[in-house]
Amino acid sequence: MKTYIKLFALSSLLVLGSCSEDFLENEPYTDKVTENFYKTPSDAFEGLVAVYDVLQREAYGTQLIVSEQASDNCFGGFGIADPTVDLQWDRFQYTTDKDMNALTWTNSYLGIYRANVLLENLDKVNWGSDTALKTRYEAEARFLRAHFHFQAAKMFGDIIPLDHTVTTSEFELPRQAAEVTYALIANDLKFAADNLGNENYSQAGNANYGRITKWAAEAYLARTFLFYTGAYNKPDLAGVITKAQATTYINDAVSNSGHGLVPDFANLWLAASLENFVGEDNTEMVWAVRFNGSGKGNWDLHEGNRFQVNIAPRGGSIGRYATGWGGATVNPKLVEAYEPTDSRRAASFIDYAGENLNFDAQAREQRQYTGYSWKKYCPITNAAGTAVVEANGGNFQIDNYQDYAIIRFADVLLMAAELNLDGNAGLAQADLDRVRDRAFKNTAHRIPVTKAVIMEERRLELALEGLRYFDLIRQGMGVMKAAIDNNTGDSQFNVTFRPETLGWFALPQSQIVLSNGSIQQNPGWN
C-alpha cells in the first residue's frame, strides 16, 4: 500500500506568493514576489539568506534538545509543574501532545521550500559574466536543501523528498523509500563539494563565517554516508557515493581544509573558559549556525539563540551560569564515562557539587535533578551576576548569541578514523590520536583504534551536540536499547527504549489528519 502525506500551507511558508487576478496586468511594487523579484545577483543573495535564516529556528522542541533527551545522554528535565512532553521524549511515550515533533517537521520543510524557490529562479537572474557566482549560490542552496532533508529523515525515517516546489495537485505526495531521499541528499552534497572553492571562513572576523564551504560539504557527505549505511545496512550512500568516495572526501577535509583542533577543548565553550574562550569563528568550526542578540526582545525575529535558555540552570543564575529552564538534565552515567584526567568532562558539564554551587533543586522546582547540567552552550553572567544577554539589553529567552556548532573538526577526524579503519588503519589511528591527545593534553592516553573505540570517543567528544542518538541508531537496535535503558531504582529516571520504533520518532498527528488517513503512523507509535 502506498502512503501519502499532505504538505499543507507550503505556499505560505515564504511570502513570495503570486498576486490576485485583479492585478495580473500590473507589477507589484510593494511586495517581493517570485514573478518580479529574481532579477539581479543581489536578489538571489536575499533568497539565499532566506534559506540560511531557517537554521536559526533551533529552539525548544526541535532536534538538538529532543535527540539529547531521547538518547542516553540526558533525561527530560525542566520544572516539576511543566508539561510532561519532555518526559515522553525521554521515555519513548506518545500520549499528551500528538504534535510533539511538529517543529522538526515544519522547520525542515520550510528550509526545503525556500531552497527550492531559490534554485528554481536562479536562471531568471541576470548574472552577466559572473556565472561562478550562480554556481556558488546553487551549491550553497543545494547543500542546505540536503541538510533540511537529512534533519527530517534521520528523525522520521521515510519522508517526502522534494527537488521542486509543489503545486496544489501535489499536496498529497507519497512518502518515499529511504534510498530515494538519500540519493537526493547525496547528489546535492556532491554538487556542493565539487563546485565550491577552497575557501575556509573559520577565521576571526571573516564576514563569510557561517556560510557553506567545500569542506563542510565533504564532511556532511561522510556524515550522511555513515548514518545511511549504518541505519539501513547498505554498502553505499543510495547508489551515489561509495565508501571509497566518502573516504576520499573526508580525507581531503582532514588534510587540505585548513581546519584544525584548538589546543584546549575547554576554550571552545564560553561557559567553560570565560577568560580563554577562542571565539566562535575559530579554526575548529567547519560549519556553525550563527546567532546574535540584535533582536532585543523582538519575538518576531529569530536572530538570537532560543535553544540556550532551555538547558541553563533553573530558577535563577548561579555562579557564572545564567538562568534558564533546567531542561535535559545530564545523565550521571555520561559524566562517569570520562576518565578523571579527561579535560572534556569539566568543560562539558556543570557539576553543581563539584563546583561548590548551592543548587537547591526543590526550591528551584527542578524536575529530574541529577547534579549535572549542560556547560556547553550555557549562557553566562557578568561580574555583577547579571545575565550578559540582559545586561546588553536583550531578553534572556530569545536573545542569547552563542553559535551552534553543527560540524567541528574533531568530528571530521573521528569520521575519518571510522571510514579509514578497514583500508588504512594507520591513518585511522592517527586521526583518533589527535582527538584523544587534545582531550588529555598529552600522548599517554592513546589506545588502539577499533570501531567500538571510535564510537565511544564520539560519545565523549561530541556529547550534548545533537549527534549521540543518531550514532546509536546506526549501530542497531540492540546497541541502542543497551545504551538507553535506565533503571537505577529511582522511578523518575526509569527509561525503556522500544526497539519496535526502529529509533524513528512519531510523525506529527497533524500530518496524518491532513492526509485524511492515507498515511500511517511510524511503527511503535500508534
Q: What is d(CA 386, CA 389) in angstroms, rounded to the nearest whole number?
A: 8
State the amino acid at position 272 in one-letter form. A
Mean pLDDT confidence for 154-173: 91
Share of the chain above pLDDT 90, in %: 87
Q: What is the pLDDT of residues 72-122, one digit of tens each?
A: 999 999 999 999 999 999 999 999 999 999 999 999 999 999 999 999 999
* Confidence at residue 32, expressed as pLDDT on a 0 to 100 scale: 62
Confidence of residue 11 (pLDDT cuts 50, 70, 90): very low
* Confidence at residue 514, expressed as pLDDT on a 0 to 100 scale: 81
Strand partners for 172: 6
* Confidence at residue 31, expressed as pLDDT on a 0 to 100 scale: 55
Mean pLDDT confidence for 269-282: 95
Q: What is d(CA 69, CA 90) in angstroms, rounded to the nearest whole number?
A: 5
* Confidence at residue 197, expressed as pLDDT on a 0 to 100 scale: 96
Mean pLDDT confidence for 247-274: 98
Q: What is the pTM of this model?
A: 0.94
Q: What is d(CA 313, CA 381) in angstroms, rounded to the nearest whole number?
A: 12
Q: Is the pLDDT of residue 10 over 80?
A: no
Q: What is the pLDDT of residues 286-321, one digit of tens each?
A: 999 999 988 889 999 989 999 999 999 999 999 999
Tell the burial category of 296 from Cβ atoms under 10 Å away from its Cβ (0-12, 13-18, 19+): middle
Lowest-confidence region among 132-141, 213-222, 281-290, 506-515: 506-515
* Confidence at residue 33, expressed as pLDDT on a 0 to 100 scale: 64
Mean pLDDT confidence for 262-269: 98
Question: What grid cell was written down for 69?
Answer: 533527551
Instruction: Name the DSSP class of 174.
Output: E
Question: What grid cell was written down for 140?
Answer: 550553497
Average pLDDT score, the chain: 93
Q: Is the pLDDT of residue 485 over 70?
A: yes
Mean pLDDT confidence for 142-159: 98
Confidence of residue 516 (pLDDT cuts 50, 70, 90): confident
Q: What is d(CA 287, CA 125) in angstroms, rounded to the nearest whole number?
A: 28
Q: Is the pLDDT of residue 525 over 90?
A: yes
State the amino acid at position 399 in one-letter form. D
Confidence of residue 34 (pLDDT cuts 50, 70, 90): low
Q: What is d(CA 230, CA 475) in angstroms, rounded to the nearest whole number?
A: 6
352 neighbors 372 (Cβ within 8 angstroms):
yes
362 Cβ neighbours under 8 A, 6+ residues apart: none
Mean pLDDT confidence for 326-338: 98
